[in-house]
Structure 1
Amino acid sequence: MNVSRLAPGLVALCLGAIVARVLAVSFGVNHLLLAIALGFVATNVVGIPDRLEPGIATHKVWLGAGIVLMGASISLETVLEVGGPILVIVVGVTAGTLLVVELLARNVFGLTDRMGSLLAAGASICGVSAVVAVAGAVRAREEQIAYAAATVLLFDAITIVVYPIIGDLLDLSSVVFGTWAGVTMFSTGPVVAVGFAHSDAAGQWATMTKLSRNALIGVVVLAYASYYARHVGGGRPSVRTLWDEFPKFVLGFLALALLASAGVLSAGQLNSIENAYNWLFVLAFVGLGTEIRLADLRNTGVTPALVVLVAFFLSSLASLAVLVALF
């Protein structure tokens, strides 16, 4: 690791995080959403110098580290009490969204098979990460990857703003709002930010639910690789694909949750861990904001966005109705 190459960008992330915290206290605004806004302004108004980009790109590492540490604040007893129904909802919404996007893309809007598959993976699993993972399995072209990724980022930008408003208007409980965000929003960063903007409990439920979806990525990549190998002559599927695409930080999250539930960690240690992951999230979301580029969003084709919009609307409405009825 070239520390000197990363240092300028890391310093920029730290300064952005401090500014977000200070402004949040001064104006009574959620610090995580403010961190995203600062990153957005920096990349679209000011511009990010080339020397800062390598360090800023580490924001995904800090997000993963924060999620791992957040495992210490999770009550496994509470999770087990309502975990069964939520797991069913996660699998149902994920599978339903994937199938709806595929059907709309191929049979209604006339998109190519590979483009439909990229959109389906991004909308149903974990955003741009799923697009990139599935792209290798289906051997998608670079322009297809770019369109699918831009479409996902468009919905990330919209839902970051819209979901907190809906949560307040409908006065959704922490469990309902957090789970709803976790099963319907696309990328992990926006899900965590929106969840914690509602409440700490909602943030935890949003993160746990989103991690459950993320864990399905290996299965989806393997399924697509198998399909395209048989029908279109794509890459050869491998069991190793399942492990390669599995988000490893999920294991760290679970391990820390088990340790905390077993009473191994003291109250002081838990407080320190909570403070640490709060700062890591702020760092990560400053970097996340820099990835929302207006130029990329303007280049998004209308048809891919319409496909995802229809599927997203159906999954959001159906899952919210089920969650409100259950909880």
Structure 2
Amino acid sequence: MVTAVTRTLPGLLVLCLGAVLARGLSTLAGPNELLLAIALGVVLANGVGVPNRLRPGLGTHKIWLAAGIVLLGASVTLESILETGATVLLLLVATVTLTLLTVEAIARTVGGLPEHFGSLLAAGAGICGVSAVVAVGGGIRARETQIAYAAGTVLLVDAITLVVYPIVGSVLELSGQVFGVWAGVSMLSTGPVVAVGFAHSETAGQWATMTKLARNALIGVVAVGYASYYARRGSGESTSLRLLWSNVPKFVLGFLALVALSSAGVFSPAQQESLANAVDWLFLLAFVGLGTEIRVADLRRAGIAPALVVVAAVMIASVVSLGVALVVL
């Protein structure tokens, strides 16, 4: 035990330093702190380099990300899902389905990306960004590098939407409800959705938050679906319960358990706020570590295809969902 702690401590301290630095730079300069966290990891890995003594601690980023996903369930309730209304839920499910299918189709037929990589991009674009990438990645046994590149792609697109969505909302003079629902069903990650929502208006922020949390609840369904699909492909037979269980990332079950507890009113508002703050810090730790998995040389060899695939899919889903929202809301 002592040896394990000693081996992981140096790298863990680097993760903590990177998380604090990302939070501080974000507060001072304004860029998204998660983007800054992964950028700091990239700089470390591709600039200074990662000494062997830091690798065990940096490798714990998977643990912190899994813990963050589990605790994220405390902010989601069945009530919040039902409050969004049947029309919004229908639009949400339709947009998620459209995004998943579009990314999968473009990645395989046009982008020429590996099948597993395309599925990671689809999950990230369709559900909740990096959290979905990691949840699905564990279920389909994707390579660590694929998960890292997909996470980087998702965060890059997040940065683009953080700029584009407020501009479109202002130019089209969208109402708070329409803008909030549109952002909630079509943007990628929770943080940017909430940020642009409340930047537009209080009403937009409330709708964006409720819609995005309802969408986040689909992470378990999508993760299990992908795990089942790839388990069938790998075995060549129908999926047995044992095989499916072995492919399902267990932290997704923890996420669903906390959703159930949150729905039962177990957590007080103060506790939910504390857990949300813990999620933010856990994700910062995880993203610094994820950044160290990205090698610029490998990204150059991969080209810009992943980013173009996600951008194209988000544009299609964004235009369609906005058109529908303007008609039905």
TM-score > 0.5, shorter chain as reference? yes
Q: CA deviation at 1:105?
A: 6.3
- Structure 1 pair 87–7 and aligned structure 2 pair: CA distance change class (3 A): farther
1:60 alignment counterpart: 62
Q: What amino acid is aligned across from residue 221 of structure 2 in structure 1? A: A
What is the CA deviation profile of residues 129-179 of structure 1, one whole-angstrom value per residue up to 9, with x for unaligned ones?
64675478xxxxx9xx97x76873563253032121122213374443233
Kept in 2, the 8 Å contact 1:101–1:116? The answer is no
1:236 alignment counterpart: 237
Q: What amino acid is aligned across from residue 156 of structure 1 in structure 2? A: V
Task: Return 258-267 or 17-26, whichever deviates more.
Answer: 258-267
- Structure 1 pair 43–254 and aligned structure 2 pair: CA distance change class (3 A): same
Partners in 2 of 1:305 and 1:269 — Cα distance? 37
Which residue, 184, 209, 215 being the options, matches 2:215?
209
Q: TM-score, normalised by structure 1?
A: 0.71
What is the CA deviation profile of residues 25-65 of structure 1, one whole-angstrom value per residue up to 9, with x for unaligned ones?
33344433332332233233332223223322322322232
Tell me whether 1:156 sits opposite 2:154 in the alignment.
yes
Q: TM-score, normalised by structure 2?
A: 0.71
- Structure 1 pair 90–56 and aligned structure 2 pair: CA distance change class (3 A): farther
Q: CA deviation at 1:197?
A: 4.6
Q: What amino acid is aligned across from residue 168 of structure 2 in structure 1? A: L
Partners in 1 of 2:118 and 2:323 — Cα distance? 22
Q: What amino acid is aligned across from residue 244 of structure 2 in structure 1? A: L
Report how many aligned residue pairs link the two structures.
302
2:183 alignment counterpart: 177
Q: What amino acid is aligned across from residue 222 of structure 1 in structure 2? A: S
Kept in 1, the 8 Å contact 2:35–2:155? The answer is no
**Identity of aligned pairs, percent?**
40
Write the mapping of 1:214-225 to structure 2, written as runs, cut at 5 A.
214-225=220-231
Kept in 1, the 8 Å contact 2:184–2:211? The answer is yes
RMSD of aligned alpha carbons:
3.9
Which residue, 102, 105, 120 being the options, matches 1:122?
120
Unpaired runs of 5+ residues, structure 2, are: 124-131, 170-175, 199-204
Task: Return 273-282 or 12-21, whichever deviates more.
Answer: 273-282
Kept in 2, the 8 Å contact 1:99–1:120? The answer is no
Kept in 1, the 8 Å contact 2:138–2:248? The answer is no
Q: CA deviation at 1:225?
A: 4.7
Q: CA deviation at 1:208?
A: 4.8
What is the CA deviation profile of residues 204-254 of structure 1, one whole-angstrom value per residue up to 9, with x for unaligned ones?
75465245145323323433554x47xxxx643423343333343343334
Kept in 1, the 8 Å contact 2:148–2:291? The answer is no
Unpaired runs of 5+ residues, structure 1, are: 137-141, 186-190
